[in-house]
């Protein structure tokens, strides 16, 4: 049903598997007491044309995450109507601040659909970067195993590390030069990673809630009426309002670590 | 009656510690703590920690960082377009 409904991949995680990784209040049973399974769907990947677009605003405006969220909602409906078990569609928004209700990436990992990359996002071995949606249910579905071989680091990245002690994602967004990432590979595996989520938030949600709050604060502190107008009518604030009012979910607005990632989508030749 | 308002002095005192313990700066095999766990460690109540974290997440970087984000994405996108489309003329200066 999930695949027919538009998902590229579908897997099932055992709720008990979350205990070792997710803190209290962010586990499936905290949202739906008695939960036994988490069904995860992935898909709605950007196309090569989207990755190659010359404007960074193309990808952030498309909001393809909504497509997979629709599959998740239908899946929850299907489980309840066909099997008679509670099914809770995990809201894609945040529970408080920037913290999600349930980590969809962790759910994808535990459902065997991918593994965490050096840059952070969970990558599927066959399809690379994708968006995720999840349904928590009391149905005792058979869980899938966790993916044995990770997609990251890709062979090209391991070779790059041997030559240059860096990878495409670390080169694009290095924490040492105002970016979000750092890390170290050893024997083809990541043994050290660092991710500045707060800075990433300024990039991945540039024109969104954070940017809106920042400009609003600046405007409230600005005593000059004309200068306030420049801030509130300007492109940054206007674009932020478009983004916020267009979407009920966390639309991603930065893809640079994934754009250069061979495991996320590679550099496929198109005509 | 009003919404829960964090005491600015409490915020200033605990902001750095909460940011350090939550998920804002992530390292491999070192997951961030939940608000409840941070509250237990710092001797605060959970609601206060949640508020400190929410304000600190936004307060962590100035508005300048949002402007830098725009420039970063403009450059990186064009660099990829130049490579993927084999159009070196698209490369930013």
Tens digits of residue pLDDT in A73-112: 999 999 999 999 999 999 988 888 888 999 999 999 999 9
Q: Is the residue at A116 inside a domain?
A: yes
Domain count for chain A: 1
Q: Which domain holds residue A40?
A: 9-137
Instruction: Express each pLDDT in B27-85 by its tens digit.
Output: 887 788 999 999 999 999 999 999 999 999 999 999 999 999 999 999 999 999 999 99
Q: Which domain holds residue B26?
A: 1-60
Q: Is the residue at A258 inside a domain?
A: no
Parts of chain A with a pLDDT under 50: none
Q: Are B7 and B21 in a shared domain?
A: yes
Q: Is the pLDDT of residue B93 over 90?
A: no
| Measured distance CA(A171)–CA(A193) in Å, rounded | 14
Q: How far B16 CA lies from chain A's nearest CA (Å)?
A: 13
Q: Is the residue at A177 inside a domain?
A: no
Q: Are B55 and B35 in a shared domain?
A: yes
> Does B20 touch chain A if contact means CB atoms closer than 8 Å?
no
Task: Compare CB distances from B57 to A56, A98, A218 and report the shortest one's residue.
Answer: A98
| Measured distance CA(B75)–CA(B18) in Å, rounded | 33
> Does B12 touch chain A if contact means CB atoms closer than 8 Å?
no
Q: Is the residue at A27 inside a domain?
A: yes
Closest chain B residue to A203, measured at CA: B69
- B interface mutation test: which of A20, A52, A168 has the most B CBs within 10 A? A52
> Does B6 touch chain A if contact means CB atoms closer than 8 Å?
no
Q: Are B52 and B68 in a shared domain?
A: no
Domain count for chain B: 2
How many CB atoms within 10 Å of residue A11? 26
Query: Is A63:A157 a contact under the CB 8 Å cutoff?
Result: no
> Does A25 touch chain B if contact means CB atoms closer than 8 Å?
yes
Q: Domain holding B18: CATH number?
A: 1.10.10
- For helices B46-59 and B8-21, angle between their N-to-C axes, nearest 10 degrees: 80
Compute and round to an integer the Cα radius of gyration of chain A: 20
Q: Are B52 and B89 in a shared domain?
A: no
| Measured distance CA(A62)–CA(A55) in Å, rounded | 12
Closest chain B residue to A240, measured at CA: B66
| Measured distance CA(A201)–CA(A158) in Å, rounded | 28
Question: Do B70 and A206 count as a contact with CB atoms less than 8 A apart?
Answer: yes
Question: Do B34 and A24 count as a contact with CB atoms less than 8 A apart?
Answer: yes
Q: Are B6 and B28 in a shared domain?
A: yes
**DSSP one-letter string for A129-190:** E-EEEEEEESS-PPPPPPPSS-S-S-HHHHHHHHHHS--HHHHHSBGGGTSSEEEEEETTEE
């Amino acid at each position: 049903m999930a695949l027919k409904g538009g998902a590229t991949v579908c897997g099932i995680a055992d709720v008990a598997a979350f205990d070792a990784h997710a803190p209290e209040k962010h586990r499936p049973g905290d949202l739906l007491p008695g939960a036994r399974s988490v069904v995860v769907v992935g898909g709605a990947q950007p196309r090569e044309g989207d990755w190659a677009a010359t404007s960074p605003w193309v990808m952030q405006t498309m909001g393809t995450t909504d497509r997979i969220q629709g599959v998740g909602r239908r899946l929850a409906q299907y489980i309840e109507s066909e099997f008679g078990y509670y099914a809770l569609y995990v809201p894609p928004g945040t529970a408080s601040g920037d913290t999600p209700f349930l980590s969809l990436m962790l759910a994808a990992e535990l459902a065997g659909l991918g593994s965490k990359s050096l840059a952070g996002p969970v990558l599927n071995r066959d399809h690379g970067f994708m968006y995720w949606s999840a349904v928590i249910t009391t149905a005792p579905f058979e869980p899938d195993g966790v993916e044995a071989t990770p997609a990251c680091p890709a062979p090209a990245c391991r070779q790059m590390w041997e030559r240059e002690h860096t990878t495409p994602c670390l080169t694009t967004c290095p924490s040492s030069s105002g970016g979000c990432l750092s890390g170290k590979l050893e024997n083809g595996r990541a043994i050290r990673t660092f991710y500045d989520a707060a800075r990433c938030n300024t990039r991945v949600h540039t024109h969104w809630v954070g940017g809106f709050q920042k400009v609003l604060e600046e405007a409230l502190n600005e005593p000059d009426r004309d200068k306030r107008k420049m801030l509130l009518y300007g492109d940054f604030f206007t674009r932020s309002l478009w983004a916020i009012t267009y979407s009920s979910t966390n639309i991603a607005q930065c893809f640079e670590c994934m754009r250069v990632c061979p495991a996320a989508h590679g550099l496929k030749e198109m005509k | 009656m009003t919404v829960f308002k964090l005491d600015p002095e409490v915020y200033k005192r605990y902001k750095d510690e909460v940011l350090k313990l939550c998920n804002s700066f992530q390292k491999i095999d070192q997951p961030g703590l939940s608000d409840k766990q941070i509250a237990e460690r710092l001797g605060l109540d959970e609601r206060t920690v949640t508020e400190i974290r929410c304000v600190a997440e936004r307060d962590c970087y100035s508005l300048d960082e949002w402007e830098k984000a725009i420039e970063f994405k403009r450059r990186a996108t064009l660099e990829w377009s130049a490579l993927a489309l084999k159009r070196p003329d698209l490369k930013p200066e």
